[in-house]
Amino acid sequence: MAKTKLAVRPPTHVRADRPYAPGIVYDGLIFCSGATGSNPSTKEIEPGGIKPQARRVFQNLDLIAKAGGSSIDQALKVTIFLTDITNDFGPMNEVFREFFPDNPPARSTVGVVALARPGLLIEAEMIAAVPDR
C-alpha cells in the first residue's frame, strides 16, 4: 500500500496563501514548519521579549501538531533558531523546560542573523510522533 502525505492547517492559521503547509503528516510522524513568536490569527508579535515569544512558538507548534492528530508532548526533535543566541539561550531554555519538563525531545539550537520579520527573536520547527488511533 502506498503511503501518502497529508497537509494539515490549524483553524487558527488564517493565511492559506503561503506556498507551504504548517504541517505534514506522513507514516506516523508530523513535520511542523517553523513557528514564530507571533499570534497565528493576528500575526502580531508577542511583546515582552524572548520568553513570551518562546511560549508562543511552543503553543503554535502544539496547534499544528494537534491539527495532525498529535501534540507537543509527542515531540521527537525540535530545532530552534535564535537571533541573539548569546543573551536568549538561557531564557529560552527556561521556557523550553516548561513545555518539556520530563522526557524532552532531541534538540538543536542555532544562532541566526535574522528571521522572516523584524522583531521576531525565535523560530522553531518540530517533528513529532502521531499516535495510533
pTM of the model: 0.93
**Domain formed by 6-13+21-129, architecture:** 2-Layer Sandwich (3.30)
- Given a contact cutoff of 8 angstroms between Cβ atoms, the answer to whether 95 and 51 are in contact is yes
The predicted-structure confidence for 19-78, as pLDDT tens digits, reads as follows 788 999 999 999 999 999 999 888 899 999 999 999 999 999 999 999 999 999 999 999
Q: What Rg do the C-alpha atoms of the chain give, in angstroms?
A: 14
Domain spans in the chain, listed from the N-terminal domain onward: 6-13+21-129
